[in-house]
Each structure stands twice: as C-alpha cells, then as structure tokens.
Amino acid sequence: MKHRLSGETFPINNRFHKEAVQPMARSTAYGLSAFTLNVVLVILVIAGLAVIPFLSVKLNPATTLPSVTAAWTWPGASARIIEAEVTSRLEGMFSTVKGVRRVNSRSEKGRGSVTVEFDRSVDMDFARFEISGQIRRAYSRFPEGVSYPVISMNRPDEEAEIQVLAYTLNASASTQHIGRYAEEHFRVPLSLIEGVHEVRIYGYTPFAWIVRYDPRRMHSLGLQPSHLRQAMAGAVEKHDVGFARDIPGRQEFLVLTSGRSGSLPWESIPVAEKAGRIIRLGDVADVRYASMPPSSYFRVNGLNTVNLVIYAEKQANQLALANRVKKRMEELSGRLPPGYSLVNLYDSTLFLKQELKKIACRTLFSVLFLLSFVFMVSRRFRYLLIVALSLFANLAVACFFYYLTRLEIHLYTLAGITISLGIIIDNTLVMADHIRYYRNRKAFIAMLAATLTTVAALTAIFFLEESIRLNLADFARVVIINLMVSLTVALVFLPALMEKIPVYVETNRLRIRQLRRSVRLNRHYRRLLQFALRTRWIWLVLAVLAFGLPVNKIPDRVEGDGQVAKWYNRTLGSAFFVQDVKPVLYKLTGGSLRLFSLYVFDRYYYQTPERTTLYVRVYMPQGATLEQMNEVFMDMENFLAQYREVEQYQSHIGSARRGTMVIYFRKEYENGPFPYHLKSELEQYAVYSGGADFFIFGVGQAFSNVYYTGFTNSAVVLTGYNYDELLEYARRISDMVLEQPRVREVFLRAGDGRYQGNVEDLRYLELDPSRLPGGPGSLLPVYATLTEYGAGREPFLYIPGEVLWEPVVLEPKEAEDFSTWDLFHQPLESEPGEMVRLAGFGAIQAEKGEDLIMKEDQQYQLTVAYDYIGPDKMARIAEDTAVVRANRMLPLGCRAAHREGYYRFGQDGKPYRLIPLILLMVYIICAVLLESFTRPLAVIATVPFSFIGVFLTFYLFGLSFDQGGFASFLLLSGLTVNASLYILNQMAVLERKGLRLPGIDLYLRAFQAKVIPVFLTTLSTVVGLIPFLMGGQSQVFWFALAAGSIGGLAFSIPAVLFLLPLVMGNMKSGGKTAIKK
C-alpha cells in the first residue's frame, strides 16, 4: 500500500524506508573522481592549518598606512623660519618618491618633522632608503644649526603613543649609576627589535656638558653663538664609516671621531681670530659637566625608580612585539650585575590576550550552537558530520587565503569569520539538500547569486571615508574570502564528500505527518495571502509608514527667483508649513526611521575595546614650572595610595603645562561600582585643589573645571598654498563667526583640529622700524641679540663619552634673569658699535595661539575653532552655515571644510548614500538570475523592511549604536535578499519547466519547495550570533553587530512571507481549481 502526497510516493506498510543517494556520475567534477577531489581538499586543509601560526594576531586593526618620519631640531628658530628653510624643501623632495599617498608636516619652535605615508604594497625598506637619500642631498643646503634629520618608521602621533611594556630596574646603587647602566645595556638592544618605536628611560637625569657664554663679552668681540657651535663641532669631528659585522647575525654602525668628551681641552678650543689674537672658548664661556634638569617624569604607583618604557610603532603587532621584547629582556636580565633586578610593571598585552580569548570562546560557542541546530533539524549524525567537515574545510582553506592576502586577525576579522559561519553552513545545507533530493548541482546558480548580493553589500565599505574604511575593510575582505571559498567547496568538494559519506532520504510515518502538517499550514498561509492581496495597497502604505518618510529633509526654502522657487517658497517653504505642519507631519510619517535618527543615531560614537581605565588630565597655568606640576602629581599619588582596589596608577608628566594620570583597577573591581566611586572622589579632590585644573574621564560622564583644554565643539578647517593669505582670511572668518551671539571667543589653530593642546598666550614684540636709529636695516642685529637671550636648554651636539654619547648645551649666562624690563631698557646692539634701547620703539602684544605650522600634501592647514553655546544640533547647523559662507569668501586655491572626526560620522549622510549603490548592484545580480526587470524590485523591497528591525531594536532597548551597528546594515542588505532570491529563483525554474499556474499558485509551489531552507538559513544565522549578546553592551562592535543583525533578520521573515508577494505583480488567484491542485 502506498500513499501519494504532493507528488511524492512513500511506502506506508513498512516502518522505515531508506533510499540512498545515487552517485551523480563517476567523474564528480571536471573529470576528477571523488577520491581525487577529497585528496585535493585534504591538501588544501593541511596547507591552511600550516600557515595559521604565521598569521598576524592583534586586538585592533592598523588604522594607518605605513609611514616614514624625518624629524630634526633647530634650537631657537621659530615655526615660520623652520617651515620656510627646511620643511618645505623636504616636502617637495619626499613627494616625488614612488608610492606616496600623503605627506604631512609639522613645524614648531625649535623643531620640525615630515611624515610620508605610503601605499600598503610599497616596499618600505626601499622607501626608507630613498627618503634617506633625499635627506643626504638636501642637508648640505640647510641653514647652520639644523640637526641632521632622524628617520623613524611608523612613528605614532604624540597624542596616540602606544605603551606596550614597562619595567623597573632596581639596585643598591644611585639612580645615576642605574640610569647609565640602563642606557648602556638596555636602550640599544631593545630599540633594535622590530616594531619598537622608542625606548624611554625615566627616573634619572643624564649628565651633559653645559657651555654658558657671556653675551656682552661676545658682542664686544663681534661674535655670535654660531661661532661657538662651529668651533665645538669642529673639535669633535665625526665621519660615518658604515656598517660592520661584529658577531654573526648582528651589525654595528661605525663612526670615526676625534676624541672623547673627557679628553677634550674645552677652554682651549679656538673660536675666532680678532686683531691677530686667537679667541678661545674659555675667553667667552664657562664649561661644566653637570646633570641636566629633568624635562619629564614617569612614575608607577608613585615610586621614584628607574623605569624602562617601551613604545610600539603605529602598525606593530603588539602581541608579537611584546613576546619579542620579553624574550630579549630575559636574555638581558641574565647578564645583570649582582644586586640588580628587573621587574615587569606594566603589560598592555594582558588585556589584549584576555579579549581575544573571550572572542575565541564565543566563536567556539557559536560553532557549537550552529552544529547543534543542524543536528536538531536533521536528526542524523551523517548529515551533521558532513556539515562539520565542510565547515572545518572551509575555515582551514580560508586561512590559507588569509595568509596569501596578508590579512591580520583582529576584532573585526574575527567578527567577519563568525558572521561567515552561518552563511557557510547555509550554503552547505542548500547544496546538500539539493543533491539529496535532485541528485544535481543546479542550485549553485541561486547560491552564487545570493552570495554575490552579500558581497555587493560589503563592497560599500571600500567607498567609505578613510577613517571608517581602515577599520571595516578587513571585515569585508574576510567575509568575501569565506563566501568564495564556501561556494567552491559546495560546488566541487561537497558532492565528492557526499559520495563517500552517503546520506539517505528517509520516509516514514513521521515524515508523512510532517508533510500533512505542511499542507495545512500552506492552506492557512494561502488564505492570509489572498486577504492581504485584496487589501494590497493598504498594507504597502503601512509598510512604508512603518519604515518612515524623511519629511525633515524637505528644504525650508529654495534659493532663486524662478517660478518653481517662488511657488515652493509660498507652499512648502512657507512659515506655516515649516513651523506648524512639517513637525506634525514628521511625527506622523517618520516611522521607525524617525525614532532611530532622533534617539539612537545622535548618540553614535566610535568605540575601541579597552580595559576599564580612569584618566586624570592636569593643566597648569602659563608660567608654571615642571617642578610645580610634579608636586601636584605627587599629592595626587598620595591620595590614590589609600585605595586597595586600584591596581596601578601611572604618572605621565610631559611638560609644565600638562600631565596625565592613568589609573587601572584590579580585575575584581574594574566592572563594579568602584571606578565610578573613585571618579566622584577625584572630582571632589579637583574642586578643592588650587593652582591646577582637572579633566577627568574614562568612566561615566566626563568632569572638567578647565577653562579651555584645546578642544572646541565647532571648527572650520581652512586649507591653501599661501600661508600669509590663508592667515588673513582666517582672521576675517573669525570675525564672521563672532557675529553669532552664542559664540564668545574664537581661536586660530594649526592643523585640522583633530589633536589640540592648550592654547597659550603668545606675546609678540611689535617694533616700528622707522623709529630705530639705523632704520629697518637694524632689525636683524636686534633680532639676533634677542634670540641669544631666548635660547633654550636644547642640546645642539652629542659627543662620545666614556660609555655613552653625551649632550652639549649652549646657553647665555643671563638668560634666566632676563626680564621684560631688561628687554626695553637694556642696551642692545643695532649696528656694529651702535647700541639702542627698545623703550619707545615697540610694545608687547598678547594673542591666544601657538607657534606651530601644519601642512598636508603641501597645503597649509588652519582651524578657526570656537565653542558654540547651545544644543549640539544647533551647533552643527551653525557650523554648516559658517563653512558655506567661508567658501564663498575664500579665493581660488583655498577651501573651507568641517573638522574630521568620528563624532561626525554619518552626520553628512555619506555612508547611507551608499545604500542605493548597494541596492543597484543587488538589482543587477537579481535581474540576471531571474531574467526579469520587475521581480528584482520585489526582492529589494524586503531590504528596507528588515531595517525596521534594526531601528526598533536599538530604540526600544536603548542600545548604543557604534560601528558594529553600521556593519549590521551592510550585512542585512545581502542576507535579507537571499531568502527572497531562493523563492523567486524556484519560480523561474518552474516556469522554465513549462508549469502553467496562476501567479499565486506558482508562488506557493515555489514557497513550499524552499520555505524550509529559507527559514533554516535565517535561523542558523541568528543562532550563530546569540553567543555575542552574552557580554552585554560593554562588548564593543560585537554586541551592536549581533543585536542589529538579529533584529533585522527577525523582520526579514514577515518581509518574505507577506511583503514579497504583495510587491510582486501578476498574483491573481486561480480559483477553486487552483486551490484543489
């Protein structure tokens, strides 16, 4: 006895029946047998497993391009002189090097630097060699006093230094002896390690040769400080010999010098000859060997010890670098003298390893959930074995391609791998089921189209602005690689695997009951669909309103005198419509898009995973000393010492104006309430502390009692090729901005405004040259005299000592006592033999600013920075208006723009303007597959409906929206299409077979054939994302990605069930005959 149902025949007189899958052919693919294909797959898997140890693993991606930085000093020179004499020349030469992407420069008082960024494909060793050659050719033309530029690779920004490890060196000797031992035995070996940017040694003050000259004596003899520098440099001649190999595997750079510092006859060094007499250094200067005053402080837990701090390059793999440094430190610690000990104080990689371990565990749970889901659905161990082997093969082969494409394994690539797991299993399930039932691989075309739609959605990442693209590019690449590998495995290797591990089509009474239940559900679904089709336009309008209409984007006014502009301004631009109708209309028709825009997206901020850390930034007023700043930090260290919950606090004092305290908590307290409690205690401490201002952030809402920290909420960035012209226009734009009643003060800053320090009160000496006795020609000697009194304590020369190279500092004797009164009343030389007092010839003017010039691609950058007092939305509108007005004012060659930054991401709508591009690519792919121009529109219509799930998920649950949420939009653009594509492709297949049925019957036949794999693929993706919700919102990127994707996929189900047939045309019912069929 047999029972026939839905065109299939099943025996019902037997309890169980198995029908093995017959081989498709002896030659499974491309004339190769199943055994051969399986062997090839095993070889590829072994190759993928073999390269896993060579993959670069880190927590965060490298968000910068490879770079070379040349830095130099010019003691006493201003930013304008350094930029004109040195920086501009190097910029022009460096820009001719092959592979250059960007050239940035920074010129400030006494020093300058040029950073050249290259394409990732450039050989950086060759680029560094070419840059060094350019410097050698240019250095001979530099002014006297400019140091030879030092080249460094991947130098981090001053505001974003990467501290990897910190050690303390203990001994019973003095700190001077300990420090000199660290300089001699640790600095050079650690600096030579690949990936180390700099090794700094704190806790001791190095000795230097301090040469103090008498300015009056120098003037009487007609000498300048440059004569002293030349004389001392000539006494210590240096000649570069080249590299020499001292032991196997190590090279040393040899320098030939004339003698050591201790043997130099300092006072006998000849300087010049005047009237037949040789003027020696001892005649005009005193030389002494003394310790230099500290220029910075670094302490851990308030201990004054000798600390070694290792900083990484921008693109260094911190985990691999830390391992190399630790290995080298073990070797060096084994050679320590008796009584010396080395202790590790800080290791930033502990947190990185902990985070990577969490991600790996969650990925493992995701795999287990997916495989459990497959087993629950199939209830067959063979089927589970095929899926597990296929998944393992996909990941192993993908690792081989990660290695070939030099992909790094980090937060975003791991996210891409996890997302890919569900899609890989989907492709395996679809192809395996098709092979089981139809014994062919014709499902590959639909799989290819579905995969290409996901790839098309991800390619939008490569069109984003650079700051976002560098973070998410690897996420897109790893997903694309995994999908391409999964297609190949499903097409070529999966049939061969199923031939060796056959899976049977089982038909029993349970299967019959399932089919009968499916028929009943289809009848109910048909009735619902017929009802929805009768009221089709009502449901479509409701779907549009549920998504939302951007009524708020309707322009308030149209510029122009034409008839259209006049009509628009009388209707949609009228005050009644804009003020009374438009807000109400936006509330009624804004839908979920309005809720997301107003209450979620405005809270968007870019996040990076980091350990719970509290930062205390201290600012001192202008005129404060480094010792005074140090006293403030010592008091704060004593305050923190009472809390046992604090694991470590680091004091970073880089200048007399600014310092930072970094506070880490013990593991058992860092996720509890104590960090917030300590922050409130520090706020009270800051309020009652006098003489310093505090900015406390990192936990909860930031606290600040600083009048100005260097950051403003609004800015207009100006670029141009003429600095004087750009500065003049910047002042005009400043006056324009001050017309705003909510703007009190405007600052002119160098650069694009992303990294700002404190604005200082710069004092300018304005002289009237016409009133000087010698006229304008006497300005130069007056300037030279004043420069001598303003000379700093920067070393201008390094000479070989007994062990280390020792600095030489040149300074005037009266520099510390030279006051403003002396400036105007002390006689200064204006011409040879002529003295003049500046009283009555000039005045000191104060202006907030900085002696700094920054350029990008040889364009000067100036920022008009200001604080807008009011809501952030109004500040953005005011800034947009200022940018528009500034561009109208600027001449050709100059441009005004917004300040770049993550907080403005998406504000201009640029990322979301890419969604139409994604939909266009999806449309083309669907049109080719479905051979129709209209049906792809129905597929695309399901994408915005799935976005409703993302909008409501973040709004209803109050979730934070970060870069993971944005990635979920891109992912849904591809995943949502897949379900619709499988159903409509099945319709096309049935039509090509000549099946003549009315639209709704044809759709139901295709729906019934593909409903199971469609829902299984959606559920498998959701199941794979569930483990990443466990960590809560504290998990950067992962939580937002999982929550947004799950919410969108949940709404994709009703989109496929109802919206897809409603949008399609030709869905008329076939009447009773069709129902019976």
pLDDT tens track for 545-578 = 999 998 888 888 887 778 888 888 888 888 888 8
Closest CA to 526 of 36, 114, 1000: 1000
Give me the percent of the chain exceeding a pLDDT of 90: 15
Q: Kindly state the tokens that stand for 745.
A: 């003060």
CA distances from 497 to 98, 398, 446 (A): 49, 18, 21
Q: Does domain 154-204+292-347 have CATH number 3.30.1330.50?
A: no
Looking at residue 674, its pLDDT comes to: 93
- What burial letters (b/e) apply to 940-959, b meaning 16+ CB within 10 Å? bbbbbbbbbbbbbbbbeeeb
Looking at residue 1074, its pLDDT comes to: 37
Classify residue 691 by burial, with Cβ atoms within 10 Å: 0-12, 13-18, 19+: exposed
Report which DSSP code applies to 295. S
Closest CA to 969 of 603, 610, 596, 608: 596
Distance of CA 113 to the CA centre of its chain: 22
What global pTM score does this model have?
0.70
Looking at residue 845, its pLDDT comes to: 67
Per DSSP, which regions of 688-775 are E strands? 693-697, 703-704, 714-720, 743-750, 760-767
> What DSSP string runs through 946-1008?
HHHHHHHHHHHTTPPP-HHHHHHHHHHHHHHHHHHHHHHHHHHHHHHTT----HHHHHHHHHH
Report which DSSP code applies to 181. H
Q: Kindly state the tokens that stand for 1041.
A: 């990605």
Looking at residue 1077, its pLDDT comes to: 39
Mean pLDDT value of segment 853-870:
88
More confident residue, 900 or 109: 109
Looking at residue 23, its pLDDT comes to: 46
1003 vs 980: CA distance, rounded Å: 11
Instruction: Flag whether pLDDT at 1002 surpasses 70.
Output: yes
CATH class of 714-759+850-903: alpha beta
Q: Which residues pair with 422 in a beta bridge?
A: none
Phi then psi dihedrals of residue 981, to 5 deg: -70, -40
Mean pLDDT value of segment 493-501:
83
Say which range, 226-230, 250-254, 852-856, has the weakest mean pLDDT: 250-254
> What DSSP string runs through 995-1057?
----HHHHHHHHHHHHHHHHHHHHHHHHHHHGGGGTT-TTSTTHHHHHHHHHHHHHHHHHIII
Which among 111-125, 600-614, 842-856 has the top mean pLDDT?
111-125
Split at pLDDT 50, 70, 90, the class of 481 is very high
Closest CA to 203 of 229, 182, 227, 226: 182
Lookup result for tokens 């309005």: 594
Report which DSSP code applies to 752. S
Looking at residue 467, its pLDDT comes to: 60
Amino acid 410 reads H
Mean pLDDT value of segment 712-736:
89
Any residues with CB less than 8 A from the CB of 128 and at least 6 apart, and which? 68, 151, 153
Amino acid 906 reads G
Report which DSSP code applies to 759. P
Mean pLDDT value of segment 484-503:
84
1070 vs 567: CA distance, rounded Å: 50
Closest CA to 548 of 951, 919, 942: 951
Residue-wise pLDDT tens digits, 776-816:
666 666 666 666 665 556 677 777 777 677 888 888 876 66
Residue-wise pLDDT tens digits, 588-626:
999 999 999 888 876 655 566 677 889 999 988 877 888
- Hey, do 2-30+353-503+909-1076 and 714-759+850-903 end up sharing a CATH topology, with the first three levels equal? no
- How much is the CA Rg of the chain, to the nearest whole Å? 36
Say which range, 811-820, 915-924, 947-956, 1007-1016, has the weakest mean pLDDT: 811-820
Mean pLDDT value of segment 165-184:
85
Domain boundaries, the chain: 2-30+353-503+909-1076, 65-153, 154-204+292-347, 207-290+781-829, 550-589, 613-704, 714-759+850-903
Lookup result for tokens 């000393």: 625
CA distances from 588 to 541, 545, 585, 952, 957 (A): 13, 8, 5, 16, 22
1061 vs 528: CA distance, rounded Å: 11
1006 vs 429: CA distance, rounded Å: 18
Element (H, E) at 919: helix 914-930
Looking at residue 15, its pLDDT comes to: 38
244 vs 326: CA distance, rounded Å: 27
Instruction: Flag whether pLDDT at 252 surpasses 70.
Output: no
Looking at residue 1076, its pLDDT comes to: 39
Which among 742-746, 884-888, 982-986, 1003-1007 has the top mean pLDDT?
884-888
Give SS3 for 695.
Answer: strand
Looking at residue 255, its pLDDT comes to: 58
Any residues with CB less than 8 A from the CB of 92 and at least 6 apart, and which? 858
Instruction: Flag whether pLDDT at 950 surpasses 90.
Output: yes
Q: Over the chain, what is the mean pLDDT? A: 80
Mean pLDDT value of segment 47-69:
81
CA distances from 232 to 267, 522, 556 (A): 10, 96, 72
Q: Kindly state the tokens that stand for 459.
A: 């390619």
Split at pLDDT 50, 70, 90, the class of 860 is very high
Element (H, E) at 71: strand 67-73
> Is residue 68 within 8 Å of 418, Cβ to Cβ?
no
Looking at residue 665, its pLDDT comes to: 92
Q: Does domain 613-704 have CATH number 1.10.530.10?
A: no
> Is residue 612 within 8 Å of 670, Cβ to Cβ?
yes
610 vs 60: CA distance, rounded Å: 10
Mean pLDDT value of segment 924-947:
87
Q: Kindly state the tokens that stand for 983.
A: 């159903």
CATH architecture of 2-30+353-503+909-1076: Up-down Bundle (1.20)
Mean pLDDT value of segment 505-534:
74
Closest CA to 709 of 751, 749, 663: 749
Lookup result for tokens 């690539």: 413
Right CATH for 65-153 from 3.30.70.270, 3.20.20.10, 3.30.70.1430, 3.40.630.30: 3.30.70.1430
Q: Kindly state the tokens that stand for 339.
A: 């009584």
**How many residues make up the chain in this entry?**
1077
Q: Which residues pair with 208 in a beta bridge?
A: 290
Phi-psi category of 861—alpha, beta or left, where left has phi over 0 and alpha has psi -120 to 50? beta
Mean pLDDT value of segment 205-211:
84
More confident residue, 705 or 401: 401
Angle at 42 between CA 37 and CA 48, to 5 degrees: 125
Phi then psi dihedrals of residue 800, to 5 deg: -70, 130
Split at pLDDT 50, 70, 90, the class of 689 is confident
| HSE-up of residue 835 (Cα within 13 Å, Cβ side) | 9
> What DSSP string runs through 76-127?
T--HHHHIIIIIHHHHHHHTTSTTEEEEEEEEETTEEEEEEEE-TTS-HHHH
Residue-wise pLDDT tens digits, 275-291:
788 888 888 898 888 88
Distance of CA 384 to the CA centre of its chain: 40
Instruction: Flag whether pLDDT at 839 surpasses 90.
Output: no
Instruction: Flag whether pLDDT at 948 surpasses 90.
Output: yes
More confident residue, 1048 or 967: 1048
Give me the percent of the chain exceeding a pLDDT of 70: 81
Looking at residue 813, its pLDDT comes to: 79
Phi-psi category of 1071—alpha, beta or left, where left has phi over 0 and alpha has psi -120 to 50? left
Q: Kindly state the tokens that stand for 407.
A: 């992909």
Say which range, 724-738, 938-952, 990-1004, has the weakest mean pLDDT: 990-1004
244 vs 252: CA distance, rounded Å: 5
Instruction: Flag whether pLDDT at 837 surpasses 80.
Output: no
Q: Which residues pair with 162 in a beta bridge?
A: 312
> Is residue 879 within 8 Å of 715, Cβ to Cβ?
yes
> Is residue 347 within 8 Å of 165, Cβ to Cβ?
yes
**CATH assignment, 207-290+781-829:** 3.30.2090.10
> Is residue 828 within 8 Å of 757, Cβ to Cβ?
no
65 vs 506: CA distance, rounded Å: 57
Which among 405-419, 741-755, 820-834, 944-958 has the top mean pLDDT?
944-958
Q: Which residues pair with 117 in a beta bridge?
A: 67, 102
Mean pLDDT value of segment 955-984:
83
Looking at residue 77, its pLDDT comes to: 80
